[in-house]
Amino acid sequence: MNILIRLPLATALALGLTAPLTAQADALEQQLDDLQQFQIIAHRGASGHAPEHTWPAYELAREMGADYLELDLHMNADGELMVIHDTTLERTTDGEGKVKDFTLEALKALDAGSWFNQAHPERADDAYAGARLLTLDEVIDRYGRDVRYYIETKSPERYPELQRALVETLEAEGLVDAGSVIIQSFSRDSLEQVHELNADIPLVQLVWYSPAEDGDGLVEWTGVTPAPAEITDADFQAIAEYAVGVGPNVVYDGEDVIDKSFVEQAHANGLLVHPYTINEPEQMQRLLDWGVDGMFTNFPDRLREIVE
Ligand code: G3P
Ligand code: CA
């Protein structure tokens, strides 16, 4: 919790704390100001070029000028925060089973890079073989306040302690006060827990629209909004109570699930719009024309070329 920022000004003045208070407020304000500009969010790092959530993917994302590194979090058997997208190990490592069942030592023994060379021979690099899974602590130790982090709480119902552990880590490192973090989730409950722990952290509500099972229109995965065509201002305002933005999918099975009016209505209700995951230049340009405020992409270089 940001204690300084909540002190009454007179108390802060009496304690001689106005300088840090001002600096913290300025940093958070600067982050919110920056969010008014278009943001390039490197999805799992530059994961189109290198194995997701490994050092090569993050280093490339930084070289390519990403504004945020996107990180997905799970918890291991030791209760540490691991940066990995899937609940299970099979797709992106040579291990088998669930992340939550393994110690850090066991997870660190896995190869999290060779799968990429096999899946993407045209982008393969011998240096990727043997890349290791990372903890959130390691990523923060390496980059500190030099980058901004766009962190997703994955499967929060599976890890009830994840929100607290995450916020404590960010606070201990001063990253909230530095304006270095956004937290995103498909789970409204997870975001509300984070908001309760530290109301200064900017939050983004992820949404995923797909066809209803009965074939009647679209549904949002967790029911956080109605179908895009039926969203009211009150629906967006309910999200704006705790979040600064929404992160929608744009396409399902080749068909658009949102349109420009979704973006305009979200804006009218004070929400930023950061769609995921946009990898093709034509799609990037189309969404820029809709007025979105940033995009998650596996190819920050492609997006940088279009927005510059
Ligand atoms: O966080 C935005 C986007 O990454 C959500 O989808 O499955 O890639 O985490 P996913
Ligand atoms: Ca994600």
pLDDT, tens digit, for every residue of 178-193? 999 999 999 999 999 9
In tens, the pLDDT along 183-223 reads 999 999 999 999 999 999 999 999 999 999 998 899 999 99
In tens, the pLDDT along 235-265 reads 999 999 999 999 999 999 999 999 999 999 9
- The answer to whether 296 touches 247, Cβ cutoff 8 Å, is yes
- The answer to whether 70 touches 42, Cβ cutoff 8 Å, is yes
Pairing of strands 148-153, 181-185: parallel
Residue 187 CA, ligand 1 centroid: distance in Å = 12
3-state secondary structure of 209: strand
- Residue 37's identity, in one-letter code, is Q
CA angle 283/212/217 to nearest 5° reads 70
Residue 260 CA, ligand 2 centroid: distance in Å = 23
Model confidence at 101: pLDDT above 50: yes
- The atom of ligand 1 lying closest to the CA of 154 is 9
Model confidence at 3: pLDDT above 70: no
Residue 43 Cβ < 6 Å to ligand 1: yes
Residue 204 CA, ligand 1 centroid: distance in Å = 12
Ligand 1, atom 3: closest residue by C-alpha: 276
The phi-psi region of residue 249 (left if phi > 0; otherwise alpha if psi is between -120 and 50; otherwise beta) is beta
Cβ partners under 8 Å of residue 82, min gap 6: 73, 74, 75, 76, 99, 104, 107, 133, 134, 135, 136
CA 253 to chain centre: 23
Residue 15 CA, ligand 1 centroid: distance in Å = 44
Pairing of strands 203-207, 181-185: parallel
**Choice from 72, 187, 207 to test ligand 1 binding pocket (greatest atom count within 8 A of CB):** 72
Residue 276 Cβ < 6 Å to ligand 1: yes
- The atom of ligand 1 lying closest to the CA of 150 is 1
* Residues facing residue 255 across a β-bridge: 252
Residue 150 CA, ligand 1 centroid: distance in Å = 11
What mean pLDDT do residues 64-92 have?
98
Residue 152 Cβ < 6 Å to ligand 1: yes
pLDDT above 90 covers a percentage of the chain that reads 90
Q: Would the CA dihedral through 21, 152, 44, 276 be positive or negative?
A: negative
Is 0.85 surpassed by the pTM of this model? yes
**13 or 110: whose pLDDT is higher?**
110
- The atom of ligand 1 lying closest to the CA of 247 is 2
Residue 278 Cβ < 6 Å to ligand 1: no
> 303 to each of 237, 246, 292, how far by Cα in Å?
30, 20, 13
What's the start-to-end Cα distance of the chain, in Å? 37
Please pick, among 53, 85, 195, 274, the residue that the annotation labels catalytic.
85
Please give the DSSP secondary-structure letter assigned to residue 178: T
Q: Which of 150, 133, 127, 140 is nearest to 50 (CA)?
A: 127
- Decide if 267 is catalytic: no
Residue 153 Cβ < 6 Å to ligand 1: no
Q: Which residue has tokens 């840090």?
A: 20
- The answer to whether 114 touches 130, Cβ cutoff 8 Å, is yes
Q: Which of 257, 248, 270 is nearest to 36 (CA)?
A: 270
CA angle 204/287/307 to nearest 5° reads 95
- Decide if 85 is catalytic: yes
